[in-house]
Amino acid sequence: MSVKKYIPNFVTLLNLFCGSIAAIFAVYNNFVAAAFFVFLGIFFDFFDGLLARKLNVQSALGVQLDSLADMVTSGLVPGIVMFKLMSMSMNVPEKVTETQWSSETMLDLTSISLLPLIGLCITLASAYRLAKFNIDEDQQTYFKGLPTPANTLLIISLPLIVEFQNNVSFNLLISNQWFLIGITIVSCYLLNSNIKLFALKFKNFGFTDNKFRYILISISVLFMIVFHFIAIPLIIILYIVLSVIKNLTTK
């Protein structure tokens, strides 16, 4: 029995493992550690498909496993992060800590503020997007709607901007609950929109066939150098704009 067919699935499970750790850190408001494991999980998510193609071991199992792993790393985690950010924006106290858990602990609905639960709509929209992707045979050379990893990078960038950019204006904006609700709505729409976004898969390295990919990568590197974590939302916007331009010029 060939061992190589298990290699991509193992890498996919590493994605799931990183996403699970990220979820734990996000629950405890450690967004920096959560972001690190999200980035690591997305790295594994990129390479599992690449390995499957290079080793010629693509399988239906691998496709399903990939989506299940993405559901945690790029579905559950951003929903938790948005929930926590909304809770902080409303100054909702952390009423339950690890020292308070016991066998007698009961679910206290009065301790839960309902508005931050809107953030979990990102998790629901991600699940819906992944399910649609699995049954859509057209999305081989492009994406229909924003891919869940890209959306997760958008959401996870918000606490990183607050943590590292030290910009009063951005901090006030990101701590505004209405801004966060707006980002959640936009996120859910982009995930399940019909906007065609080009994939970053290179069939060859010629400039003519990949000019939009090269433009995106080049400007993204420049943005990261100049703007740091603020660059992530800008890169997502650039990705959408370039995709729209590519669709119009192709037509």
Q: Place 82 in a pLDDT band, splitting at 50, 70 and 90.
A: very high
CB-side neighbour CA atoms (13 Å) of 195: 18
Could you tell me if residue 207 is inside a domain?
no
> Does a structural domain hold residue 37?
yes
Does residue 208 sit within a domain? Answer: no
Q: Is residue 218 part of a domain?
A: no
Distance between CA atoms of 58 and 51, rounded to whole angstroms? 9
**Per-residue pLDDT at 7 exceeds 90:** no
What is the pLDDT, as a whole number, of residue 204? 62
For residues 124 and 140, the answer to whether their CB atoms sit within 8 Å is no
190 or 166, higher pLDDT: 190
The closest of 145, 119, 123 to 132, measured between CA atoms, is 145
Q: What tokens appear for 80 in the block?
A: 């938790």
User: Taking the CB of residue 113, how many other CB atoms lie within 10 A of it?
Assistant: 15
* pLDDT beyond 80 at 104: no
Residue 248 lies in a domain: no
Q: Is the pLDDT of residue 10 over 80?
A: yes
132 in a structural domain: yes
Is the whole model's pTM more than 0.75, yes or no? yes
Which residues are CB-contacts of 81 (< 8 A; sequence separation ≥ 6)? Answer: 26, 31, 34, 119, 155, 156, 158, 159
pLDDT at residue 99 in the model: 47
Residue 206 phi/psi, 5° resolution?
-70, 145
CATH number at residue 46: 1.20.120.1760
Give the mean model confidence (pLDDT) for residues 202-226: 85
pLDDT tens digits for 221-248?
999 999 999 999 999 999 999 999 999 9
Residues in contact with 150: Cβ distance below 8 Å, sequence separation at least 6, in sequence order: 236, 239
208, exposed or middle or buried, with CB in 10 Å at 0-12, 13-18, 19+? exposed
Q: Which domain does 57 fall in, by range? A: 4-92+114-198
Tokens standing for residue 45: 């998510």
Report how many domains make up the chain: 1
Cα distances (Å, whole numbers) of residue 204 to 130, 211, 246:
27, 11, 18
- Residue whose entry in the numeric block shows the structure tokens 């400007």: 219
Provide the pLDDT for residue 205: 65
Query: Does residue 220 belong to any structural domain of this protein?
Result: no
Domain membership of residue 167 (yes or no) is: yes
